Structure 1
Amino acid sequence: MTTTHLPDPDELDTLRQRYSLERERRVRPDGARQYRPAEADFGYYAADPYVDGVAGREPLKDTVDVAVVGGGFGGILAGARMRQQGVGRVRIVEKGGDFGGTWYWNRYPGIHCDIESHVYLPMLDETGYVPEWKYAPGEEIRRHAVRIAEKYDLYPDALFSTAVTSLTWDEATETWIVATDRGDRFHATYVVTSTGTMSEPKLPGIPGIESFRGHTFHTSRWDYSYTGGTPGGGLSGLKGKRVGIVGTGATGVQVIPMLAEDAEHVYVFQRTPSSVDVRDNRRTTAEDVGADREGWAHERRENFLRIVSGEPAVRDLVADGWTASAALLEKLLPSFRRAQEGPSFEAEYEVADAVKMNELRARVERSVDDAATAEKLKPWYRYACKRPTFSDKYYAAFNRDNVSLVDTADTHGIERITEHGAVVGDRTYELDCLIFATGFSVGVSGILSGKLPVHGRGGTQLLHAWAQQGPRTLHGFTGNGFPNLIHMGSLHNASSVNFTHVLDEQAVHAAALVAAAEAGRAVVEPSPEAEDAWLAVLAKGAADHEWFHAECTPGYYNREGLGRPNTASAFPHGAVAFHELLRRWREESIAEVLRPRTAVETN
């Protein structure tokens, strides 16, 4: 039997110093400005590679019951739950060529979900589907999104390859006017927004990026016409090619082993290594997960949510890397339920954190043959500083002769790109193909970015209304002055590592709001007093994580090292408690957001 070594105070102090040193090597004064959006001259990086041109159609001028902005799982679930409430015409408007959201766009080789598929895939009980793998490949997830859309008849009114450009409240008809980039201007009694937080690919602002004469693309728009193969591998087009990949986050960890199988040589340009835990992916059967019982998926999903939210659970049904390290997610989730406070908690937390990170660094040493490469792959930061990743193949890729790790921490990334390759220090790495696994711009899509202007009662623009005191909502869904507008997402809501679960609870709530309004011939709109009361709930007991993330290595969690301010942006008592609060409110208090319609209905 092995015993876990608990670091003593001197060892913890040494770790803190190492973490600080490694952080300083990577902090850049330009912060998030080091990236550029995939638009304007770089818009081709965001083009849809999965549609062969966009078919022409006449602009729509009709009226629907509900318009949903976004066709990812949030939008699909909103549509499905509306159907369960008996809503007739539901129109989902989606920029991609089909349903799926992030799973429509991301089809890179090796793509899998990092949350167990039996809790990640929503509506398994309702569709009767049992995932084939513990961690589903991307195509299985995308097909499940289509499965839900087909079951709930969401295709007939859907608009694909279409972006909503504005939402305007029409007081005379008490409907929203929805305008799109394809000339549509239709009315909807209710609008649900579910545009996601990571839908816009970002690129590093490397000088000379436009001069590269080789082939280049972003992982969220994988170019199989160049690489050949499928998400399962077989990238025959890379035979004899020198491939560079920028980024070693969750995407890079999955892509790099696949590139290594087919490219002549792979250069991995790394600024900060990910922490990579064991995935242990495997095929599963219905018996493995108890799918022979009614409500099995609901039970499993709730069990996972309890554990990763800091709630007690009798059993751990999922038993994976997430649940094993659940206690360390407290700094990652602003709505993690803490059992205790104060210095004693932080001291115990730091020890547990050090034990886990020492374990992960030891895994690197055991897995990577070359000591110098292994040292560069070690994650020197605390567990919740970056999203944890999981792989059974990543480290083994660096034992291949055709894979080279290029550490760019001291040069703050690739210094410049030439016609023929990438420059780091005194070396130019000649490349035939350069792939960006650089993720997405957080929070730059949809309403909060200003790209989707919303004008409510009296023409008031939503972001202008929120400019003085910040966002104002009730439960994160509705706001005064913006009737029948329902938000889905992370604002003023609860958070979890399994966001599809959160989205499904939000979809149930959104559908209940619409059903209550329809039954009472009412408009959904909270009072300013209700908003004030909710903001007070968020502020009371809000987690103090600012100091923790200020000490973290740069990444999107802390705005690339600039810090993560404490704001009352999430329910502070955990997702389990928040979902119970919503259920109780629907039973007892939903009438408080309903006011009689005043518009005259015409047929």
Structure 2
Amino acid sequence: MTDHAQAAHEQVERLRALREKYAQERDRRIRPDGATQYRSTLGEYGYYAKDPYTPRSDREPLRDRIEALVIGAGFGGLLTGAGLRDAGIGSIRLMDEAGDVGGTWYWNRYPGIHCDIESYVYMPLLEETGYIPSRRYAPGEEIRQHAVRIAEHYDLYRDFVGHTRATGLAWDEDAAEWIVETDRGDVFRARYMITSSGTLTQPKLPGIPGIERFAGHTFHTSRWDYAYTGGDADGDLTKLADKRVAVVGTGATGLQVIPHLAEHARELLVFQRTPSTVDVRDNRPTDPEWAETLAPGWQRERMDNFLEVLAGEPVESLVDDGWTSTHELQRSILSGSVDGSLSEEDRLLREELDDAVKMDALRARIDEIVDDPSTADALKPWYRYMCKRPGFSDLYLQAFNRPNVTLVDTADTHGITALTETSIVVGEAEYEVDCLIFATGFDVGVSGVVSGTLPVSGRGGRALLEAWGMGPRTLHGFTTHGFPNLFQLGPMQNANSVNFVHILQEQALHITTVIARAQQVGARRIEPTAEAEDAWCRTVVATSRDVSDFQAQCTPGYYNGEGSRTIGGLTYSPGPVAFHRLLREWREGDMAELLVIDDADERVRESAEIGVSA
């Protein structure tokens, strides 16, 4: 056997053994109840989602008319509001269930919280608001304050409505307006309706038997109780000095919270079902000399470059970090271009080999840092790199070298077995604790519109979910036939990337440009033709990359519905760079398939609909 053949044989054997190991670790964690293992905080456990930051104040129900309502005041809603303001829309109402703007950064104020995307590309509208982040990866409070800065800069507090949840949207055909109802007794009207209700705001809880019986103190990380722990987002949790604390969850939140809990709690128990990858974070203060060199347009250039690198475009990276160094591995699940010089089989083999090298390095880092061999083994991730969102920390692994920290691996029991009044039960073992903290994440990607908790009825009273009976139907992911002047932001039938704020910024630009054009030409309403909607749905299906095989091999997580389903078929797989280019070119046209100008145009549309339905 030649040296080349021997090397190839060894590679194949290495991958075979690794696949077997990955399958074993996946099967240890798969539960028959899949994603239903979690309990929503919308119902019985709603107190876990209560706003602890802003007092709820009484107000009179709204009965007015506005030009535009934006549901959701996170970065998506703020960017849309800013674009509408720039487009000359005077009457803009932002509405949110939170007491202030910021979205996920309003809710998440736990100790150690930072962004995991470089601040200079993550925090939007830096040049427009004249701000430079203090650190490469800014802390959460700084990001929240930047959201406030955007709202103030664009005068979006003028008609902001907090602690308010929309409960119904109905199109009034005669008035060409949306009738909006809320949980505060509001019934008002809006010409344009934009939903940006986010993906990381509604906390979820594990469905642990006995959770309602636990008598100790408990809260979700997105509603951190500093009155109990002491300190603030920088740490100093001094009130935990005599407490036995348990934290459930070792995802991105756990990686940031656990080092602070470890430093201050008398005893810390970390309950882990699946370990995260933990790469180097290397956070540092912003260099003021570097900031002085930034020329106008620097943020747009840097944001575009980051997106292009991750999408596989042939550009030199301006952002040298953990994301850009692994961009080829990320396209196993995210959209982007692929190496066309290789056959599909060879490309997949090369990706798997590169993946194995990266994961080996991450597992080796654990051995280098964690002193106890059994703890180090339990912390090792055995899955492909993009089976879970990659994690970064220079403090997390080190926390397990503290004598007061114990890792409790729950893989073989499929999570925590039960809760008693005083203890956490895993199999036959029982752990008595004073405080239980859930770092168990959110109902990812489930907006009120998609879940049905926000009913939407369009022309003829037809329900949106009825129109989507066979799956979402949109033009470019934003508008739907039969639902005029209704726009949605989010990762549906368009393109995504790890820097979701950049995606939201492009979506807000598209929506506000369309509305500005409608205002300019005097369009009666904005609604795609059935033909245009059909064409886009066919495009999405034709271009979508099937990642179901990859996801089926993954350990359970929110990427694959806890192992019970796979996601795919609903994104524009050529990637965000290609998608944004497509949108720019489309906006240069007359938007004829979207703008209803006059009655003659309406009759043409109705004829076209008859033809399509026939």
1:66–1:286 Cα change, 3 Å:
farther
Q: Which digits, 9 at most, give the CA deviation of each residue in 1:418-437, with x for residues without a partner?
A: 11110112221110000000
Displacement of 1:236 in angstroms is: 1.3
Q: For residue 45 of structure 2, give the secondary structure of its aligned residue in structure 1.
A: helix
Displacement of 1:40 in angstroms is: 2.6
Displacement of 1:120 in angstroms is: 0.2
Match for residue 224 of structure 1?
226
* Whole-Å separation in 1 of the counterparts to 2:467 and 2:383: 39
Match for residue 338 of structure 2?
338
Do the aligned residues in 2 keep the contact of 1:386 with 1:555 (CA within 8 Å)? yes
1:574 aligns with 2:580: no
Do the aligned residues in 1 keep the contact of 2:556 with 2:563 (CA within 8 Å)? yes
Amino acid of the residue matched to residue 153 of structure 1? Answer: D
The range that moved more, 489-498 or 537-546, is: 537-546
Do the aligned residues in 2 keep the contact of 1:199 with 1:445 (CA within 8 Å)? no
Q: For residue 67 of structure 2, give the secondary structure of its aligned residue in structure 1.
A: strand
Displacement of 1:289 in angstroms is: 5.5
1:396 to 395, 398, 404: 398
> How do 1:470-509 and structure 2 match up within 5 A?
470-509=471-510
Match for residue 609 of structure 2?
none
The normalised TM-score by structure 2 is: 0.94
Which runs of no fewer than 5 residues in structure 2 stay unpaired? Answer: 1-6, 600-614
1:565–1:388 Cα change, 3 Å:
closer
Q: For residue 411 of structure 2, give the secondary structure of its aligned residue in structure 1.
A: coil
Match for residue 21 of structure 1?
24
> How do 1:267-416 and structure 2 match up within 5 A?
267-288=269-290, 292-313=294-315, 315-333=316-334, 335-340=335-340, 342-416=344-418
* Whole-Å separation in 2 of the counterparts to 1:262 and 1:565: 40
Displacement of 1:350 in angstroms is: 0.5
Do the aligned residues in 1 keep the contact of 2:559 with 2:567 (CA within 8 Å)? no
Displacement of 1:11 in angstroms is: 1.3
Do the aligned residues in 2 keep the contact of 1:200 with 1:445 (CA within 8 Å)? no
1:8 aligns with 2:6: no
Match for residue 92 of structure 2?
90
* Whole-Å separation in 2 of the counterparts to 1:438 and 1:485: 32
Amino acid of the residue matched to residue 43 of structure 1? Answer: G
Displacement of 1:33 in angstroms is: 1.1
Amino acid of the residue matched to residue 373 of structure 1? Answer: T
> How do 1:119-198 and structure 2 match up within 5 A?
119-198=121-200
* Whole-Å separation in 2 of the counterparts to 1:320 and 1:136: 15
* Whole-Å separation in 2 of the counterparts to 1:563 and 1:347: 24
Match for residue 548 of structure 2?
546
* Whole-Å separation in 2 of the counterparts to 1:138 and 1:257: 16
Displacement of 1:591 in angstroms is: 3.2
Displacement of 1:207 in angstroms is: 0.6
Match for residue 519 of structure 1?
520
* Whole-Å separation in 2 of the counterparts to 1:539 and 1:55: 47
Do the aligned residues in 2 keep the contact of 1:247 with 1:437 (CA within 8 Å)? yes
* Whole-Å separation in 2 of the counterparts to 1:454 and 1:244: 41
The normalised TM-score by structure 1 is: 0.96
Percent of pairs identical after alignment? 57
Q: For residue 16 of structure 2, give the secondary structure of its aligned residue in structure 1.
A: helix
* Whole-Å separation in 1 of the counterparts to 2:550 and 2:521: 48
* Whole-Å separation in 1 of the counterparts to 2:46 and 2:276: 28
Match for residue 601 of structure 1?
none
Amino acid of the residue matched to residue 480 of structure 2? Answer: G
Q: Which digits, 9 at most, give the CA deviation of each residue in 1:441-497, with x for residues without a partner?
A: 123332000011101001000001111x31111001111100000111111111000
Amino acid of the residue matched to residue 362 of structure 2? Answer: L
Do the aligned residues in 2 keep the contact of 1:81 with 1:507 (CA within 8 Å)? yes
Q: For residue 502 of structure 1, give the secondary structure of its aligned residue in structure 2.
A: helix
Amino acid of the residue matched to residue 336 of structure 1? Answer: G
Do the aligned residues in 2 keep the contact of 1:125 with 1:298 (CA within 8 Å)? no
* Whole-Å separation in 2 of the counterparts to 1:463 and 1:594: 23
* Whole-Å separation in 1 of the counterparts to 2:333 and 2:240: 38
Amino acid of the residue matched to residue 230 of structure 1? Answer: D
Displacement of 1:290 in angstroms is: 6.6
Q: For residue 142 of structure 2, give the secondary structure of its aligned residue in structure 1.
A: helix
Amino acid of the residue matched to residue 36 of structure 2? Answer: R
Amino acid of the residue matched to residue 46 of structure 1? Answer: A
* Whole-Å separation in 2 of the counterparts to 1:258 and 1:32: 29
Q: For residue 92 of structure 1, give the secondary structure of its aligned residue in structure 2.
A: strand
* Whole-Å separation in 2 of the counterparts to 1:151 and 1:402: 47
Match for residue 60 of structure 1?
62
Which ranges of 4 or more aligned residues in structure 1 deviate by more than 6 Å? none
Q: Which digits, 9 at most, give the CA deviation of each residue in 1:68-111, with x for residues without a partner?
A: 01010000000001111111110011000000000000000000
Q: CA RMSD in A?
A: 1.3
Q: For residue 198 of structure 1, give the secondary structure of its aligned residue in structure 2.
A: coil
Match for residue 240 of structure 2?
238
Q: Which digits, 9 at most, give the CA deviation of each residue in 1:36-72, with x for residues without a partner?
A: 11133211101001023x1111111111110001010
1:201 aligns with 2:166: no
Match for residue 41 of structure 1?
44
Amino acid of the residue matched to residue 213 of structure 1? Answer: A
Match for residue 604 of structure 2?
none
Q: Which digits, 9 at most, give the CA deviation of each residue in 1:323-343, with x for residues without a partner?
A: 00010001221x222233510
Amino acid of the residue matched to residue 517 of structure 2? Answer: A
Q: For residue 209 of structure 1, give the secondary structure of its aligned residue in structure 2.
A: coil
Aligned length: 589
* Whole-Å separation in 1 of the counterparts to 2:495 and 2:380: 32
Do the aligned residues in 2 keep the contact of 1:45 with 1:217 (CA within 8 Å)? yes
Q: For residue 593 of structure 2, give the secondary structure of its aligned residue in structure 1.
A: helix
* Whole-Å separation in 1 of the counterparts to 2:521 and 2:540: 30
1:583 aligns with 2:584: yes
* Whole-Å separation in 1 of the counterparts to 2:387 and 2:373: 25
Amino acid of the residue matched to residue 225 of structure 1? Answer: A
Q: For residue 592 of structure 1, give the secondary structure of its aligned residue in structure 2.
A: coil
Match for residue 555 of structure 1?
557
Displacement of 1:291 in angstroms is: 5.3
Amino acid of the residue matched to residue 328 of structure 2? Answer: A
Match for residue 537 of structure 1?
539
* Whole-Å separation in 1 of the counterparts to 2:366 and 2:546: 32
